[in-house]
């Protein structure tokens, strides 16, 4: 069974997220070089938040701006840890406020290695329903299980025009 076949035909729902403040790592990357940020950046964000006595307000998110299926396309990646409020300045990370975000959303359970097929299926549904992407995608990592990737739970949010 392929991932594409396991995604329901009407998997996507539309919602608007709430704004939030986050401790943020920002870089330019490609799909080919993306793996270098797993899991070290998330660990450093949690360590820095702890050092600064910041309280996490949600799970780690990866926010992609300008990414597409071309593995060599350079895009902006933000890896963020939502927090209750900013603290002292930090040399490695910045504080950002992310506004409300209107998106098509799907909660995927399974390994991240299947994301290519998952995104193909989701974007096909998105376009069939007549929506247009605004070029932003968020992945919210609710459950991270490196020992058994089939247990990972990720909410995928595709920004809408």
Cα separation of 97 and 23, whole Å? 9
**pLDDT confidence of residue 122:** 94
Burial 95-134 (b: 16+ CB within 10 A, else e): beebeebebbbbebebbbebbebbbebbbebbeeeebebe
Query: Does residue 2 surpass a pLDDT of 50?
Result: no
Q: What is the pLDDT of residue 119?
A: 93
pLDDT digits (tens, 9 = 90+) for 136-160: 999 999 999 999 999 999 999 999 9
pLDDT at 16 over 50: yes
| Eight-class DSSP state of 56 | B
Tens of pLDDT, residues 45-69: 999 999 999 999 999 999 999 999 8
Q: pLDDT, tens digit, for every residue of 67-126?
A: 998 999 999 999 999 999 998 989 899 999 999 999 999 999 999 999 999 999 999 999
In which band, very low, low, confident or very high, does the pLDDT at 132 lie, cut at 50, 70 and 90? Answer: very high
Give the rounded distance of the alpha carbon of 82 from its chain centre: 12
Where do runs of H (alpha helix) occur along 34-113? 40-51
HSE-CB for 142 with a 13 A CA cutoff: 11
Please count the CA atoms within 13 angstroms of the CA of 48 that sit on its side-chain side: 24
Lowest mean pLDDT among 20-24, 32-36, 105-109, 156-160: 32-36
Confidence of residue 12 (pLDDT cuts 50, 70, 90): very high
Output the pLDDT for position 17.
Answer: 96
Domains and CATH numbers, the chain: 13-160 (3.20.80.10)
pTM of this structure? 0.91
pLDDT at 3 over 60: no
- pLDDT of 134 > 80? The answer is yes
């Amino acid at each position: 069974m392929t991932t594409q076949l396991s995604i329901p035909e009407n998997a996507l729902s539309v919602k608007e997220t709430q704004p939030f403040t986050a401790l943020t790592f920002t870089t330019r990357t490609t799909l080919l070089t993306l793996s270098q940020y797993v899991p070290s950046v998330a660990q450093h964000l949690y360590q820095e938040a702890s050092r600064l006595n910041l309280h996490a307000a949600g799970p780690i998110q990866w926010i992609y701006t300008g990414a597409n299926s071309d593995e060599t396309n350079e895009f902006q990646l933000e890896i963020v840890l939502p927090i209750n409020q900013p603290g002292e300045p930090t040399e490695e990370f910045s504080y950002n406020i992310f506004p409300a975000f209107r998106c098509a959303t799907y909660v995927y359970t399974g390994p991240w290695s299947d994301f290519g097929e998952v995104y193909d299926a989701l974007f096909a549904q998105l376009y069939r329903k007549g929506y247009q992407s605004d070029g932003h995608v968020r992945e919210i990592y609710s459950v991270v299980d490196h020992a058994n990737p089939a247990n990972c739970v990720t909410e995928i949010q595709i920004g809408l025009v």
